[in-house]
Chain A
Amino acid sequence: MVYARLIIMRLLKAVIVLFLIVIFNFLLIQLAPGDPAAILAGQAGAADQEFLNQLRERFGLDQPMYVQLWRYVSGIAMLDFGYSYRLGVPVFDLIMDRLPATLLLTGTAFVLSLVLGIVAGSMAAARVKKPSGSLIMALALVFYATPLFWVALMSVVVFSVYLGWLPAYGLYTVGAGHTGFALALDIAKHLVLPATTLALFFMAIYTRMTRTSMLDAAQQDYVKTARAKGLKPSIIQRRHVLRNALLPIITLAGLQAGQMVGGAILTETVFAWPGIGRLMFEALEQRDYNLLLGIFFFSAALVIVFNIITDLVYSLADPRIKKGAA
């Protein structure tokens, strides 16, 4: 089975990369300022030497480096990311608690940016050298150059403070006691601003990618043939050009999607969206390094999972890959 081998190779590569990231993460924790035991002791309000030693022993900080590394790696293999120094709660639990909100936000933003980007990009490709096509590309450039967190803040000013159309903070209205459909509607309203502002930057990237990809596809021989046959330009654009241009867009979009986790840190911070991005900001503010690095590892893992999914979608969508491999 060619297909099964492809998946196995891909997973094997992912495991190696994850392992390297774990080691990298461990090195970063060693470099982090401050002695974790001292921080923990400071939290507890006492700092005599005996108590420090007790803490070191309990968290394995008195062991040699390679033992600590082994414990860290085997811990992560069993989804044990250690404890948040500040909150005293397992890092994994904190992340799992916040994950659904982040997946909802980034998933919505991803679909939104991909659909709008492909529509805008193909419109621009069909209007090369026309003012309307240039206008689309100019707008895409502006969105590309705009800081994400600034668009987020400005959208709060305009749509929430000035116009009063949409809520600006949180996942749902606290204390409203909505359930069922009313709750879903409430969450959807809260989602509009964060998802749109996060999507804008990526929409700009996808617009540019779609335009380039479609202009490339338009140079191909089968498009010339279709034109020679006398097919309508709109049909050529849709059936011959866009279909073939979509594959490279999917690949690139999958690679870019990883960066969305990074973008979510900024968006969630502005909109007080209770996801892992906001959690990362909180960890930063409190200098909670173990939590910070746990989230970092987790976001890298998310990116890898996402890349594998894109690869699989791609190989399913492009029959040439299976033929080529067989």
Chain B
Amino acid sequence: MTFHYFLQLVISGLVIGSIYSAVALGFVIIYKATRVVNFAQGELLMVGAYVCYAFLVQMHVPFWAALLLTILFGMVLAMFVERLILRPMIGEPTISIIMVTIGLSLVLRSLVAAVWGTEILVYEPKLFPQEMVEIAGLPISLEFVWCFILSLVLLAVFSVFFKYSKAGVAMRATAFNQQVAQSMGISVKHIFALSWVISAVVSGIGGVLIGNINGINSSLYHFGLKVFPATILGGLDSILGAAIGGMIIGILENLSDGFCKAYLNLSGVKEVAPYVFLVIILMIKPYGLFGTKEIERV
């Protein structure tokens, strides 16, 4: 394996990883604020990608407007989901909450398949320039660079939001202790809804980005399953962890795939590698790189 090939694997892993990061960010926002494990995160990404496609290609709306409308749609959808499905589940055991989000994922998937079918659809016109640029001697499509930069911007914006804005601080307070937050005048209900809204928007934007690069089809929700390795590695309740975890998992899955192809003559390792890492991480460091360690007292 040449160094050139190695570098290529790392960079393409980084690009896919940045999408993983965006979806993982959405997952962590919900988990942190509401302790809901959202198995429908990939479906939120898928809905975002398809809705943007509908505005951009089917209705010929300019891109900036399509993106805004997609975000708006994501917000409304998230509010409905939170109010109708998740709020009645407050206080139910983990297994019920897992199951309800799995049910939600099935519903969203079938809605998308019903409206848009299952074939591959391509964004037209392309949002980002298609030319190649050279980075460190490697030809890289400019759309990858744009996608990577936009993901980083997204992550940065939300880091700042959580650190400095009033709503962000309120969300962190709620995650820390709901009762105390409530007694300080924070509406926990609104925070729950807000976390779903932000999460759907972030995932939706991730969907738009990936739709631009690969086109969209009904198996886009698979991105949601990669969220688990990424967030476990980064720590389930850490925003920074989600960002870094997503990138690392993207690179690791690409590298292990490349290595196994080159040296072990084993193909298709990409599908399974993240989960092997997941099990290893769970065995040695279950709370991840930046997660809060749960301490139990009797």
A and B are partners in one complex rather than unrelated chains: no
